[in-house]
Every structure is written in structure tokens, then in C-alpha cells.
Structure 1
Amino acid sequence: MTHVTPLAAALACAALSQAALAQGVATDTELAPVVVSGSASRNGLHPSSPSAITSKTAEQLREQNLVNPEDALQYAPNTTIRKRYIGDRNALIAGRSFGTLQPSRALVYLDGYLISNFLGRFDAPRWNMISPEAIERVDMLYGPYSALLPGNSIGTTVAVTQRTPQTLELSGRLIAHRQRFDQYGQDDHHDGGQLSLHAGNRLESGLWFTADLNHQDTTSQPMQYQTAPLGTPGVASGATQVTGITYDTDPKGARRAVFGAGGGAIDHTLQDTVNLRSGYRITPELEASMMASWWQNDSEMRNETFLRDASGARVWKGTVTDGTYSYVVPDAAFAPSARQESHQQLGATLKTRRSAGWNSSLVVSDYRILKDLARQADSPDAGAGTVTNRDGTGWRTAEVQGSWTPTPGDWTGGRHTLAAGVHRNAYRLDNTVAQATDWRGTADTPNQRYRGRTDITAVYAQDAWRFADDWKLTAGWREEWFRAHGGEQLLAGTTTSYDTRHLRGHSPKAALSFSATDNLLLSVSVGRGVRFPNVEELYNATTTGSTVTSADPNLKAETSDAIELSAERTWTTQTLRVSLYHDRVRDAILRQSTTDPTVCPSSTTTATTYTCVQNVDEVKTTGIEFVWSAQDLLAKGVGLEASGAYTFSSKVTANQNDPAMVGKRWLRVPRTRAAVQVTWRPLDDWMLSGGYRHQGRAYNDQYNADVNPDVYGGVSRVNQLDLRGAWKATRELELALGVNNATDQRAYQSHPYPGRTLFAELRFTN
């Protein structure tokens, strides 16, 4: 053991010398390869993993229509992916006890490097850094039960592993897709395509390297619509007589008028990802690897008005009437917008690779937004507008960890698996808004800004103790120190600076498992997770049109105390897991929108919408989850992955800031979720599959006033059928055809989900 100590000390010193260390790394100690998909099976898992897990390999992912990396979670148990369209940069994760309004409760890692973006409200994981063709497997854990993971794991943790070459390998795929979408009498097609290439090799020296390229060109269906409450009866003075106004009922049951797809509704996006990786076995026991990734996006957002005047010309703004009601269409309703983005991620890893005994690892990464310019015109006539700049925003991570894998008769008695580590993070956000005479030109002096920094330092330790042949106790502790500093707001000509804040989190963990028989595993897991507020939640104060947004620099951390009871039964070709879970979150962080300025205090009382972030005193969630996996079901070559979840209760139980929320269901957590995927391989070269995704209704209003959820703006039920067929023409070439949402069912997560989408795919490999 003494020959490892200097190395561990050197790694610790190197990590502590970094300007910023890590917010957690999904290391090999936590997620080793899993060989059984869709279940909580511990086959292949490191014995210190204390929670339920679901997994899919690259081969299994080719049994579904996978275009973007987040599609890998499309059928994951008790999970919602709010992917609004192919190429969506804000595909948010929701899980057992949290909705897509709490994106910071999900962790996503790529080869151990954090790609979760804890900077803003709708800053989803940076899925764009993953080349779909390079994915080897995807693993997902539930809940805050591991001391090795940071407080954001109170929801869901996803680990994406890219494949490492063993010899020369070349592969690629070309996908074309077409979506049919109709809404409010408008029927159109939206097309796109993707090219993904992968190359890798391992030399005799042990040096390996890969290069991945992904290019995507897609156009979305309309994401939002310009609406207004039922108008004033009669014809207003000077109003333009128009046709095309459509009427429906909004989520709260009120009649409304719809004027068209507005607010940058239709997104045409061009995206490119380059991912370079390499590794080298320095000694038989020491390995180094590195990665460098770049992603860029060029988006043009356009709108479509439904309104036509007497001559048939389009009407984009002003006072209009259909002869019965009159409305004012704001200048900005159908104003165009554009965004140019360029991101970079660099990372390096140094690990020892011993089959038993002590191992050490050091992982560092730097994620930097090199360019982020969001341009918004003030009117459909273009001209003046605003430019929002987030250049230089990003985060740095690193982690040093030591672990012990037992051997029979060692100093632990061969029954203890140990892990301990140190990490620290550094997040920086600078969001500046400036007026521009030409919205596509140079910005003037900034008139709005919010910026700040957060960092977390943590230490942790965990021991998985097999104190009897059939019993294992995993216990751990995580201590975290949070600092927010450099906070500043510029609004209405006034700059406000905020004092440095310090918070501390204590996270005990424990899990007890019992192998009742060779085929039955019973377990109970308890754990606390502490999720600290992000920069945007602390310092974002902006005014956009008639919407006032305010933050809270005094936000508390949200604390989850969770428990899971699980039973898992395996047969020769089947696995069934049943899990009961309960989650109590104190000081839950929620961003809410209201028309009441007393709920979201503001110096302005004339706005139409007030958005603020506040702590909700207590939210409790209780539910049950079933996951079933079967092979050769009913006939040879037939596989099944099925899951179902029922949430008995997910409610606000205390909230002194807004007592009217008490007793209401927590936002965007549906009562039911289910997914089924059936795969049939009638011949070696043929594969047919069908998938079904279900989600029950959920609430989008903190007072549960949205009584009509299955419309634009609501959080609707989802019942969608997906189909796929693939034929391996040769050993190197595969053709596939597929369709998502085959029945063209309309569904909403505030924004509309895609309509029926057809896919054609050509894939080659050596």
C-alpha cells in the first residue's frame, strides 16, 4: 500500500492547486459497465452503487429512432425529456419528484466530464457535445443516495460513455427526417438531416485516439403562438379588418384569440460538433486521457402570422378586428430573432488501473462559451432591437479521488469497498443586454446586466461493507461549502452589487441490501442531497416587454431527504424491479410566473407578467415504480423493456411565502408515466421495433388553475407510438426507416411536442 501513497498525495496536490476544482465526476467507482438493460440489476456494477439504475448499450439504442443524444432516455423509466423538436438546445430532464422547471436537479456526465449547465433557468445539459455515433452506453441513477455525487443528484444522474477503440474503426450515419405538423388550421412540413462520422484507432504502443464529427440542419415546428384574452366587443377606431384570427380555450379555461406563430416560433438551426479524444497507458497501472470538443450553432428564428387584410396581405402588428372583437397586436409579437453560439470543452484524466487494492484518479475539465449572441428585433419590420451577450460564461471542474477494491484476506477482511475524494467547482455567468440601432449590427451601451459567480468545495467518503455473505451496508457522508460572489445587476440605469454569501451542506447516506435468494435482492436506501442556487436564480433581474423578472440573492439551498425501498427478482431471461420512493424537499427552489405583483414583489406594478424565484418551504413526493426486462418473450428473438410509475402524491405541504400553494400538486410532475419498447429480430439481418410513451397530465400553474391542460401552454397527457425497422444489407451497411408519434397525437409541455415524424437512416461501419 505504501507505494501508492505518494501518487495519491501528488494527485491531491495537483487538484488543490487548480483555480477551480470539480462539481462531481461520475467515476468508475460509481458506474462500472452494466450488462443488463432496463433494470436495477447489480450485474457488472461496482458494489458501492447504492441506488436503482437503468442502462442501454449502443446496440440497444439502434433499436429506436435516435437522432440527438438525449433520445437515449426516451423510454427511460419514470423520466421526461422535454425535447421540443429535433435539434432543441434545451432538452430538459424531469424525474421522479421534479419537473422540467427544476433543471438543476439533474446531473449529466460525458466520459466523467460534467456537461450539466447550472447557469440558468432553461440551460439544459450540453447534449450537443456528444456525437451520437460515438455513444457506447448510457447509464442512469436515481436519487441522492451516493456520497460520490454532488447535491444536484437529488433528482437524476446520467452517465454517457463514448466508445474507446481496440483497433482501427470507422463508422458513420446519415439521417433524413420530415415532420408533419398542423395547429390552428395551419398544416406544414418541417425537414432536416444529420451526418455523424466516427473514426478511431489503437496503436501497438497503447496510444489510442478518436475523432467525431456531427453536422445537423433542422427546422422546428412552431414553438409558441401569439395569443390574447378574448377581445373587446366591437370595432375599435382605426382598426384593420382582418381574417385569420383563431379562437380556442387556454389552459385555465378562458377563451383566447390566436394571431399566429410568434416570439421566434420556428427555429432553423445549423449545428456542428467536433470531438477529439486520446489516451495512453503510461505504465501497466497508470493511464492518461484527454478530450477537446467544440460545438457551434447558427439559428434563425422566424414567425408566421395568420392575419390577412382585405387585399390578402399579411398583417404583423397594430390594432386589428375581425368585425366582432378588437385587439392590439404588439410590435414585438412577430419580430424575428437570431442566435450565434460557439462552445468549447477541454478535459483531462489521470487514473490508476488496478484490479484490486488502491486506485486514484484526477479529472479536470473546462467548459467555456466562446461566443453567445442572441439578437432580437423590436418589430417585424426589423431595424432596431437588442443584443444579449454571454461570451466568456462557463464552468471549470476537477476531482481527485481514491478508492479501495477488496481482495480476500486483505487488511479490511476482504469485505470493505472504500472511496473518498475532494472536489471544487467554479461557475461564472455574465449576461448583458444592449440596444442596437440595427438588431443584426453592433450593440450600444448595455442597459441591462446580471452577472456573478458560484463555487462549491466538497469532501466525501463512502464505504460499502459486506458484513455477511448476503448483506451489504453502504454508508457515506458528503460535506459541501458553497460561495456566491461577484453578484451584480444593472437595471433602469442603476447598478446593484451583492455581498459574498457562504452556505454549507451536510449529506449523510446509507443503503442496506439483502440477497434473500440467488435471484431476489431487497434493499433500502436513504440519503440527503443539498442543491445550491445557481447564478441566474440569485442575480437575474431583467425587463422584457411587459414581463418583469426578479431573482433572490438570499435564496436558501434546497435540501432533499429521500428514501427508496426496492425489490428485484431475476429469472433466466427476465428481470423485474419494484421500487417505492419518498422524497421530502425543504426550501425547494421554484421559478414562478404570475399576474399578481404581491406574489413576486417588484418596484413596477404595471407589468402584465411577473416572474420570480423563491424558496417553497416543503414539498413531499411519494410514488411506486416498476421496471420489467425480458428476452425471448413468447418467441425467440422478441425482447421487451417496460416500465410504469404512479405518483401517489407530489404536493406543496408548507409555504409561508405563498400560502395559496399549500396542498397543490408540484409543477410538471405527472401522476403516471409509462414506456414500453418491443423488439423483434425475425432474422439475423432484420429488426422490427415499436415503442409507446405515456405521461399523465400534470400542472403548469402553481395554484393548479390550469384545468384544460391538453392545449398550447398546458402540460398535457402524452400517448405516442414510435415504430422502426432496420435491415442489415451487408456486414458494413444498414438501412432503417422509422416514425415517431405515428398517430400524430398532439401533446404539450407548454410548447407543442413534434407531430408525426418520419426517419430514413443509412449507417455504415467497418
Structure 2
Amino acid sequence: MNRTTRRLAPWALLGLLQHPCTFAAAPADETTLAPITITGQATAPSGLDPQLPASTQSVTARDLQQINVVNTEDAVKYLPNFAIRKRYIGDANSLISVRGTNNSQSARGLVYVDDMLLSNFLGNSYGFAPKWSMVFPDNIERVDTFYGPFSALYPGNSMGATVAITTKMPKKLEATASVQGFSQHFDQFGMDRNFNGSQSSATLGNKIGNASFLIGIDHLQNTSQPLQFATPQAANGGQPGGTPVSGAQSYIDQYGKPGVIAGTSSEGVVHLVQDQFKFKLAYDITPTIQAGASLSYWNRRYRNDNESFLRDPQGQVVYAGRVNIDGSAYNIDPATFANSAGRTESALYGLSLKSHQQHGWNFAVDFSSFDVLSDTLRTAAAGGTNAGPGTIESTRGSGWNALDAKLSYTPASDAPGAHWITVGYHFDRYHLDDQVFNTDDWQTGGMQAPKNAFLGSTATQAVYAQDAWKFASKWTLTTGLRAESWRAYSGARSAGDASVGYGSRHETHYSPKASLAYAATDDLTLRASVGRAYRFPTVSELFQGSLSGLSIVNNDPNLKPESTLSKELAADWYTDSGLFHLALFQDDVKDTLYSQTDTTVIPNITNIENIDRIRNRGIEISYQGENVAVAGLDLSAGVGYTRSKILENSRSPETEGNNFPRVPLWRINAVATYHFTQQTALTLAGRYSGRQYNTLANTDINPDTYGGSSSFMVFDAKLRYQVSSRIEASLGVDNLFDKRAYIYHPYPGRTIFAELKFKL
């Protein structure tokens, strides 16, 4: 990175995040740079703050070419102090984990694509991940991510991080196609198999006059490694008795106690087939006003197959009943090895109208709607059967709508006294309709007697204002205020013919923000930021429970919103070798919403409760550089330390002083790419995650086993070769040394990739 590039980088980034423009002048207090044109049609999502009052990290399409990417969430897996809980290729439950937000707190991360909200705030857990699959990875132009709730343009769900994905639009006739195959080997707990998959995609686009369009299709099929296992507990009291069985696998569980694994259970091995369709349209009404529309369709079919390892003396498979394993009695519930199958169809619609003048006033209006067109999960009542009774769960009709309207002002120069002003309005509505029915045939039967149901809605309206004021040549003060009015309504829960409704709730909160930046030198910027934010309870946390299977989840319609007071001190230093970033942060969080489970009783009982006070404190150091040490070597690396501590928990005082679950003390991510020639590049990447706990009590003392949360270091690699201007080939591997690691579920083993891309 030469000196001119270093000096220009912040201004170029700002330009990319606003609109195509030409920079003709540098700031008044800096050396004048030659004019440069920022090309491309990419604009930031309407919520993305162009003043960036917090730590920011970005990934470009060029960066993504160098790493193994199958699903969209792979784009952010190497960001500093950042991790993605992705259990297998095609996992619909891939969640963000950043700083003190763990990988089960899905409602603490914002994800946008082209101004449309992908975040699923119907709940706050594994089953409510962002809808990453609405984006084709090859269509990504850049991903901009910033940490913490320091901008008034965002709701309190930005407590963790905000991810803004910008996709490409063609400027001429373009066509692409790609095919990819991948395979992993899994050898553990008595299973020794290969699990394979493939992905293929194609796009066609053009710009004709003032109109441009893009059409794309994508097909993915994959089989996961085993995700969950049956770990029955020895029966209490009485004589051992039961049918003697063999095949159970002995292991030491996450609490350091001996246990047995009797087979795969619940999700088990997932077989999935997924199809996507994408259509985008943009029309330039005038040279500075553009209208846009988009449609994304997602169809996912999957089976969760389970297998019992248990065999009786005659060699027959045992699925249920009282059994004798090595002299101890176990009661195997009939539902333990039950198979299931599901299908989901969803659509994301988007409309936009915005202006992009270089100076003066601009507006942006964005509307998006995510609809669950159909969603059924069929589950057998007992294992080892392809017919017979079971249940059908449907969430058809669930979804969300979001509207954002923004007015912003950009001054003609950044001379002292200049103001960058933004005012806006936001509305969102989330609706959940979750119904479970009994059926006499779990595979083909119809919905019969209702078993249980949960439904409800939340809606939020917000107005905000933010001003970035350059009050001196080296000083910029950004202040903002967000006012949010939230309500929950139409909540109900039923079991069989009995039903109970919940009254509506309404709360209003105000979130002030402030950030002070100081340009200490031409190459060094210092910044201090502080922000208050509120994260309101989701529909599921308020109204959804569960009355089936091996567990009970109790809801609480009176949960308080989470609130945080977040602080950050940061420095950005541009050198001849690259960009260094340092951030010190602290989040003081009140009323954290978190699930606590009593596993000492069967069925288990889980309650989502408010934890009084948690403090997240840490440091991040990152580096990005090109041609580092030698020509052709690009390097990015990040080290993050986070101490997330439970300060007060009146519902469970014994957890006070403990580490908050699933927040590792250390995260280290690094990517090094060496360009041998313009056609050939080799990338080596590494990801390290340190010690963490799965439980609030921190009693899981044996993390490197099923049910635990491992510390791990894995290495990935990719060799990319540009065969011609139209053809690209690559070979890659994730988890190069086949490290065994767990996030309760086993992470994938060594996975090998082969890919071929064509471009017209």
C-alpha cells in the first residue's frame, strides 16, 4: 500500500458507501491528490452510516476470490474478533458471534443486503439465523461490517455488529456459471463415512439504456456429518434389568462424567437440497434518481436421519425400551431416534427509490418483505419407522416487513464548520404463526388434531437524527439520537383445545450516541465513541414455548428489553505497509435475555429470563496490507480478547462472576495470499477460538467432546488459477489438519473443495 493509496483510502471507502462520484479535491488541511473516479453502482444500505462512527472492517469481491466460499456467511468468517457458527455447508442456522455477543444471540446482529433486512428477529436463538441464502456469494461486491451500537441509524440489534452486503449490477451483457464439489470424512463415535455435496449456479444480466437487470439461479445439495447424538442417562433405582445390548460408544461428557452414545438423534445426519432464484431490476429515472426492485426465492427440502447403534443378542436394532449397557440400565424414549423431514419456501421482496447527488440533500426509501410461503416439519413419534404416527409443524404465514426512509445532507467540502446530517424513519413488523398437529402418518398424513400453537406479533417505529460536525480542522464530533416505540400484540399459546391469550405491551426508549474523532496526523486517526441501545424481546421469546418431544420451553410475555451502554476507544494508523487498527471496548449490558435449562428433570424445562448485569470488556488489533514484505503477498490478520463476565443474576446467583457462555477469551483470524503470477494465487488462512463455556454455571469442564464448546485452531487453504479471461479453476481445503472441534455439535472435519467458474 503506497502513500497515495494510504492517504486516499478513507475517502475512497466513503465514496463507495454513498454513490458513484468523482473526488476532485482533498480536505483543505491535506496535500491535494489527483482526481480519482470511484466506479460502480454500489450504494450502501439505507441503514449503513457513511460516517462510520465505530470500528469498521470490509471484505471485497477480490478478497472472496481467494478463500473457500460456498455459502454467503463464509464471506465474514475471517473478520477480526468475529466468528460464524456454521455446522455444515448449507446450515440454515448459521449465526454471528462477535465481541461479547455469543453464537446463540441471533437478535444481536444486523444483516442487510442492498438495503433489505435479512435478520430474523422472530426469535433469538439457533433457529432464527439471518437469511443468508437470499444472497448468491458470487454476486457480492463488498461486505461492510462495523461493531457496536454507535450509530443512531441502527436499532439496538446492532449491539453485536452490523453486516451490510452490497451486490453487483451489470453495466453490459454478462453471464456467469459455476460448479463446485466438496467432500468431508467423518470418523468418530462409531461412524466412519464420507459426506459429499455440490453446488451449481448461473446468472444473466445486462444494462439496456436506463435499465439494468440480473437473473440468477443456484442449486445446492449436501449431506452433513452427524450433528446430534443420543446420550441416555442411566436409570435411577431398581435392578439393572432390560435387554442386553451392544454397540453403544463410551465417552466422557462435557461435565467430565462417563457417558454413552447410543446413536444419532434429533437433527442427526441432514440431507438437504436447496434451490434459489434471484431477480434484480434498477432503473435510472434521472441521472441522480434510481428506482429498484428485487425478488429472491428460496426452496429447501431436507431429511434428518437417525440411527441407533444398539443391537440385541440376536443382532436386531433396538430403538426404544429398557436396555442393559455394560451392566447399567437405561430407558430409551421412543422419540430418541425419530426421523424427520421438512420443506421450506420463502420469498424476499424489495423496492427502493433513492437519489445520489454528490453534494447537498439526498433521500432513500426502502421497503422489504420476507414471507414464509410454506414451512412444514414432519417428525415421527418413534424411531426405526418409515410410517406411523407423528407430528406436523407449520410456520406458514410468518415473516416480517421493514420500511426505511432517510434524508441526508452532504456538504460541498469538509472545511471546518461542515455538517453531515441524517434524519430518518424506520418501521418493522414481525409475525410468528407456529402450529403443531398430530398425524396418523408422519410422512404422508394430513394435519389432524391440533397439538399446540404459538402466535404473536411485534412492531417497532423509530425516528432518528444524526449530525457529524467538523468543528475544527482535525476534529469531528458525531452526535445522534434514536427514539423507538415498540409494541407486542396478538400473542397466544394453545395446547390441544385449550388456549390462553396475552395482553398487548408498549414501550418507548431513547438511545443517544456520540463519537469524537481526532486526525492526529495525516496517517493516524483517534476516535472515542459511546452509545446507548435497547434490544426489544422477539416474538418467540415472548410467546413461544414447546410442549412436545423431550423438553419443555416456557415463555414469558413480560420480559424486559436488553439495554447496553457501550464504549469504544479506537485508532486507525495508515503506514507504508498497510492499515493497523486498535480498539478498546466495554459493554455494560442490563437485562440480557438468555435461556436457562434445568436438565436434571425429564422432560427438561427451559426458561428465557433477564440476567441483571453482564460486562463485556476487551481489545482488538487488526492489520490489512498488500505487497507485504515481498511483492504479491497480501495479508490480513486480527486478534481479539474479550472477557464477558456475569456481574449480577438474581435468578441464579451462583453464576455471578462466571464467564458468559460461548464468548471465547481469544479469537485470532488471519489470511495470507501470495500471487505467484496474475493468473495464480495461493491462500493460507487460520482461525483460532479460545476457551469458552456452554453453560452459565461454567460446569462444562471438558470442552473437547460432544456437548462441549472447544477451543480450536484450524487452517484453510485455496489454490486459484485463472485459466483464461473467461475460465477460473480452484482447489481448496477447510480444516486442513482435520481438527476435531465442537460447538455442542461436531464441527466439520477436513473438507476438500473443487470449483470451476465461467464468465461471458
Regarding TM over 0.5, the answer is yes
Matched, 1:384 2:389: yes
Match of 1:601 in 2: none
For 1:446-485, what aligned pairs fall within 5 Å after superposition? 446-485=450-489
Amino acid at match of 2:331: V
**1-structure distance, mates of 2:395, 2:236:** 41
Matched, 1:684 2:678: yes
SS at match of 1:128: helix
Match of 2:41 in 1: none
SS at match of 1:455: strand
For 1:324-723, what aligned pairs fall within 5 Å after superposition? 324-380=327-383, 381=385, 382-408=387-413, 415-440=418-443, 441-491=445-495, 493-595=497-599, 607-647=602-642, 649-723=643-717
- 1:687-726: per-residue Cα shift (whole Å, max 9, x none)? 1001110000211111111111111111111210101101
**2-structure distance, mates of 1:469, 1:726:** 46
Match of 1:105 among 105, 108, 117: 108
Amino acid at match of 2:272: T
SS at match of 1:200: strand
- 1:438-479: per-residue Cα shift (whole Å, max 9, x none)? 112101121211100000000000001011111111100000
Q: 1:621 to 1:323 in 2, by over 3 A?
A: closer
Match of 2:156 in 1: 151
**2-structure distance, mates of 1:319, 1:423:** 57
Amino acid at match of 1:452: G
- 1:320-367: per-residue Cα shift (whole Å, max 9, x none)? 223422222211111110111000111100001211000011100111
**2-structure distance, mates of 1:359, 1:393:** 34
**1-structure distance, mates of 2:376, 2:352:** 32
- 1:517-560: per-residue Cα shift (whole Å, max 9, x none)? 11111001110111000000001122223311101100111001
Match of 1:74 in 2: 77
**8 Å contact kept, 1:235–1:324:** no
Match of 1:138 in 2: 143
**8 Å contact kept, 1:263–1:335:** yes
SS at match of 2:52: coil
Displacement after TM superposition at 1:317 (Å): 2.1
Q: 1:413 to 1:554 in 2, by over 3 A?
A: same
**2-structure distance, mates of 1:34, 1:464:** 21
SS at match of 2:357: coil
**2-structure distance, mates of 1:64, 1:741:** 13
**1-structure distance, mates of 2:20, 2:567:** 23
**2-structure distance, mates of 1:153, 1:78:** 16
- Structure 2: which 5+ runs fail to align? 1-12, 22-35, 39-43
- 1:639-675: per-residue Cα shift (whole Å, max 9, x none)? 111000112x311111222212211111111100011
Q: 1:191 to 1:408 in 2, by over 3 A?
A: closer
Q: 1:506 to 1:436 in 2, by over 3 A?
A: same
Displacement after TM superposition at 1:263 (Å): 1.3
SS at match of 2:748: coil
Q: TM-score, normalised by structure 1?
A: 0.91
Greater displacement, 510-519 / 166-175 = 166-175
Match of 2:91 in 1: 88
Match of 2:68 in 1: 65
Displacement after TM superposition at 1:30 (Å): 11
**2-structure distance, mates of 1:30, 1:384:** 56
**8 Å contact kept, 1:77–1:675:** yes
**8 Å contact kept, 1:101–1:590:** no
Match of 2:718 in 1: 724
**8 Å contact kept, 1:260–1:307:** yes
Identity across aligned pairs (percent)? 38
Amino acid at match of 1:557: P
Displacement after TM superposition at 1:591 (Å): 1.5
Amino acid at match of 2:631: K
**8 Å contact kept, 2:425–2:464:** yes
**2-structure distance, mates of 1:413, 1:656:** 51
Match of 2:297 in 1: 294
Q: 1:333 to 1:519 in 2, by over 3 A?
A: same
Matched, 1:757 2:751: yes
**2-structure distance, mates of 1:675, 1:362:** 37
Amino acid at match of 2:591: D
Q: 1:182 to 1:277 in 2, by over 3 A?
A: same
Match of 1:744 in 2: 738
Match of 1:225 among 214, 223, 229: 229
Q: 1:34 to 1:107 in 2, by over 3 A?
A: farther
**1-structure distance, mates of 2:50, 2:252:** 53
**2-structure distance, mates of 1:462, 1:94:** 28
Matched, 1:180 2:185: yes
For 1:140-289, what aligned pairs fall within 5 Å after superposition? 140-203=145-208, 205-230=209-234, 236-237=240-241, 239-289=242-292
- 1:289-332: per-residue Cα shift (whole Å, max 9, x none)? 00011001010110122222333332222222234222222111
SS at match of 2:388: coil
SS at match of 1:263: coil
SS at match of 1:90: coil
**1-structure distance, mates of 2:416, 2:471:** 10
SS at match of 2:73: helix
**8 Å contact kept, 1:484–1:500:** yes
SS at match of 1:136: strand
Displacement after TM superposition at 1:240 (Å): 2.5
**8 Å contact kept, 2:268–2:306:** yes
Number of positions where the alignment pairs a residue of Structure 1 with one of Structure 2? 719
Amino acid at match of 2:410: T
Q: 1:298 to 1:546 in 2, by over 3 A?
A: closer
**8 Å contact kept, 2:353–2:365:** yes
Amino acid at match of 1:547: S
Amino acid at match of 1:215: H
Displacement after TM superposition at 1:34 (Å): 12
**2-structure distance, mates of 1:656, 1:176:** 51
Displacement after TM superposition at 1:283 (Å): 1.3
**2-structure distance, mates of 1:685, 1:166:** 24
Q: 1:502 to 1:645 in 2, by over 3 A?
A: same
- 1:556-606: per-residue Cα shift (whole Å, max 9, x none)? 11001100100111112311111000001111111121236xxxxxxxxx6
Match of 1:312 in 2: 315
**8 Å contact kept, 2:300–2:345:** yes
Greater displacement, 168-177 / 481-490 = 168-177
Displacement after TM superposition at 1:94 (Å): 1.0
C-alpha root-mean-square deviation of aligned residues, in Å?
A: 2.0
Match of 1:599 in 2: none
**2-structure distance, mates of 1:413, 1:229:** 70
**8 Å contact kept, 2:277–2:296:** yes
